[in-house]
Amino acid sequence: MNKTYSDLGLLLLRLGSGLLMIPHGWGKAQWLFSGEPIDFFNFLGLGDTASLALTVGGELVAPTLIVLGVFARWAAIPAAFTMAVAGFWVHAADPIGDKELSLLYFAAYAAIALMGSGKYSLETLWKKS
């Protein structure tokens, strides 16, 4: 396969998964800093607030880095982990229709973690300078 097409595919994967995830993280960030009581899934036993903060990292900070193509491989790991928790723990007892989106995001972020950001990224621009 032509390398250019692979790099365009990675760009599309990064932009699609990242830009569609950012609003989820933005809403959670607003909740985190709103001062309202936080009742959130406490997966690691760190408490509701810490769990929400980690989720904001996985749904807002990491996808922003992924979209920009800055440390995309590393950023995809917490993003994928966050989606794995959502799909396999938070929605474990739910029907597939309630967890399919988180599992789809998990697959996209796992692919980015394996393949990197590709040629069309800020990281590649920096390496060329």
Confidence label for 3 from pLDDT (cuts 50, 70 and 90): confident
Confidence label for 1 from pLDDT (cuts 50, 70 and 90): low
Taking the C-alpha atoms of residue 57 and residue 77, their distance in angstroms, rounded to an integer, is 11
Report yes or no on 1 lying in a domain.
no
Label residue 75 exposed, middle or buried (CB < 10 Å: 0-12, 13-18, 19+).
Answer: buried
Confidence label for 15 from pLDDT (cuts 50, 70 and 90): very high
Report yes or no on 58 lying in a domain.
yes
Interval 37-65: pLDDT, tens? 999 999 899 999 999 999 999 999 999 99
CB-based contacts of 92, cutoff 8 Å, min separation 6: 99
Interval 99-125: pLDDT, tens? 999 999 999 999 999 999 999 999 988
Mean pLDDT of the residues in the chain: 95
Q: What pLDDT is attached to residue 127? A: 84
Residue 128 has pLDDT above 90, yes or no: no
Report yes or no on 15 lying in a domain.
yes
Taking the C-alpha atoms of residue 71 and residue 84, their distance in angstroms, rounded to an integer, is 20
Report yes or no on 23 lying in a domain.
yes
Interval 64-86: pLDDT, tens? 999 999 999 999 999 999 999 99
Q: Which amino acid is it at 98?
A: D
Taking the C-alpha atoms of residue 45 and residue 15, their distance in angstroms, rounded to an integer, is 32
CB-based contacts of 26, cutoff 8 Å, min separation 6: 60
Owning domain of residue 70: 6-128
What total of structural domains would you count in the chain?
A: 1
